[in-house]
Amino acid sequence: NAGVMQNPRHLVRRRGQEARLRCSPMKGHSHVYWYRQLPEEGLKFMVYLQKENIIDESGMPKERFSAEFPKEGPSILRIQQVVRGDSAAYFCASSPPGTPYNSPLHFGNGTRLTVT
């Protein structure tokens, strides 16, 4: 009965490298959300995806950030050419199929990205 699985839990990258964060939603869930959290702050929405579709990316920076949720496999949040300001905890959440607009989101334990 696995929940939302994120890996890695911790990721260290040097400035200019690429970071790839993976998220496997709860079994049977088809909606995936990515959030970013800075220390002592709340969660900021980045992107909402369904299988093979980006539904809402209004919270995603226009450059260097991309997300996908392929037909097979986990959702990937990709950050190219990381900078120190990208250091944060990135959380993935999922919700069941059907209309998502009243469903609770279930969160993973996050990936803590540190850019040195």
Partner 1 sequence: GQQLNQSPQSMFIQEGEDVSMNCTSSSIFNTWLWYKQDPGEGPVLLIALYKAGELTSNGRLTAQFGITRKDSFLNISASIPSDVGIYFCAGWNTGNQFYFGTGTSLTVIP
Tell me if 110 contacts partner 1 by CB under 8 A: yes
**Residue 85 contacts partner 1 per CB under 8 A:** no
Q: Does 88 bind partner 1 (CB under 8 A)?
A: no
Closest CA to 94 of 18, 1, 29, 6: 29
| Residue 10 beta carbon to partner 1: minimum distance, rounded to whole angstroms | 10
Q: How many CB atoms lie within 10 A of CB 99?
A: 9
Residue 106 interacting with partner 1 (CB under 8 A)? yes
Q: Does 64 bind partner 1 (CB under 8 A)?
A: no
Q: Does 42 bind partner 1 (CB under 8 A)?
A: yes
- Closer to partner 1 at the Cβ: 85 or 104? 104
Please report how close the Cβ of residue 16 comes to partner 1 at its closest, in angstroms.
27
Q: Looking at 11-19, 67-75, 79-87, 104-112, which segment touches partner 1 (CB under 8 A)?
A: 104-112
Q: How far apart are CA 63 and CA 107, in angstroms?
A: 25
Burial of 68: CB neighbours in 10 Å, binned 0-12, 13-18, 19+: middle
Q: Taking CB under 8 A as the rule, does residue 53 contact partner 1?
A: no
Residues 6+ apart with CB under 8 A from 77: 20, 21, 23, 34, 46, 47, 65, 66, 67, 90, 92
